[in-house]
Amino acid sequence: MATIFLPTADRTIERYVTGEPLTFPSKAETQGFNRIAYAATHVVADPLADIDPWLGTAIDWDKTIAFRHYLWDLGLGVAEAMDTAQRGMGLDWPNAKELIRRVVEASKSRPGALLASGVGTDQLMPGPDVTIDDVIRAYEEQIEAVEAMGGRLIVMASRALAYAAKGPDDYAKVYGRILSQVKQPVIIHWLGDMFDPALAGYWGSADHGAAMDTCLDVLTAHADKIDGIKISLLSKEKEVAMRRRLPAKVRMYTGDDFNFPELIEGDEKGYSDALLGIFDAIAPAASVALARLGKGDRQGFQGILEPTVPLSRHIFKAPTRFYKTGVVFLAWLNGLQDHFVMVGGNESARSITHLAELFRLADQARVLHNPDLAAARMTKLLAVHGLA
């Protein structure tokens, strides 16, 4: 246990004593999953790069790749170069392409390693001159690049498409064109506007019910080219409703970081697999819980993951797009990287009070790997803010 003095929302300082962390799982405890589970992963910035962080990107490639091996060691898959990696918030397409190349290469030394990588249109700036055909060409460029590396695809939502589309037919045209060309089934990612305001009205409607109808039409028309869909709407009701309407053999990958344990566990009518940013932050707990679910121990599964839900809801609280700050902060507290610096300078996106509460919730969820180390690092951050 460690003792630390943390700020509170009412501007006071409280004495806080940490509890006991979960025991880190052995290799035998990370086997036998009966759900597919990807962790959407963050990138580790290079803190010594002489750049302007808001304008340039510098990545510590060794630490970034080491984090992927940490996830594979825990039996989790890696969902690469997605929004958790700050795609569109510090990570541009050239750096994303290099990231994917390096991680695909690293995966070759890991037989059975699960890896899928995000492709989108982020090399194309939305604007009045951008056409639907421009969007298609941008998708094709990224798809061709990742397929040439031997990578599997996650087709991400496109800001340029959201800007250029006049209605549902334009979405059907774009997805129909690109899905007709992919070499193997892909995961479609529907990222809600709570994660990215530029994606408001995706699938041609601000109403999620109407948007879901359009999306399901695309999935049904191209079901042989689709492994599954991840929806990130933070609504278990919408996810379950869509899950029950999916074409046969098309998976639902939960992107609901508010309600993931019950969605993964499922009900008598089905369940969701997982593709979650929170699994980056709680990987050991997720691994042990999934192994227990695979053995039929639903109570054990929920017992491990339910305490992580308040933590996840705090990390992903509005403005949700700043959740990456919490994910990287927890990686630093847990000794998985040596600093709390992010590409794009996004370490400043959350307040010290928010981070202090994150510390408490992570401890209560038992996902601080070494509470003494975490408390020492938190104390240093508090000192920078004049609080220690």
The set of residues, in sequence order, having a beta carbon less than 8 Å from that of 289 and lying 6+ positions away, is 261, 300, 301, 302, 304, 305
Q: Please tell me the predicted confidence (pLDDT) of residue 14.
A: 96
Looking at the structure of the chain, the number of domains it has is 1
Could you give the CA distance from residue 43 to residue 85 in angstroms, rounded to a whole number? 5
Q: Is residue 15 assigned to a domain? A: yes
Q: What is the pLDDT of residue 23?
A: 84
Q: Is residue 41 part of a domain?
A: yes
Which residues constitute the domain of residue 58?
3-119+234-384
Element (H, E) at 117: strand 115-119
Round to whole Å and give the CA distance between 245 and 165. 25
Dist. CA 98–CA 58, nearest whole Å: 12
Q: Is residue 363 part of a domain?
A: yes
Find the CATH number of the domain harbouring 276: 3.20.20.70
User: Within a domain: residue 302?
Assistant: yes
Residue 345 lies in a domain: yes
What's the average pLDDT block by block, 10 residues per block, for the chain (388 residues)? 94 95 78 94 97 94 98 97 96 97 97 97 96 98 98 98 97 98 98 95 97 98 98 96 97 97 97 98 96 96 97 97 98 98 96 98 97 98 92
Residue 153 pairs in a beta bridge with: 117
What is the per-residue pLDDT for 28? 67
Amino acid at 109: S
pLDDT at 26: 75
pLDDT at residue 133 in the model: 98
Q: What per-residue confidence (pLDDT) applies to 32?
A: 86
- 174-204 per-residue burial string, b: 16 or more CB within 10 A, e: under 16: bbebbbeebeebbbbbbbbbbbbebbeebbb
Is 207 within a domain? no
Question: Is residue 124 in some structural domain?
Answer: no
- Name which of 65, 92, 93 is nearest 78 in CA terms: 65
Q: Is residue 195 part of a domain?
A: no
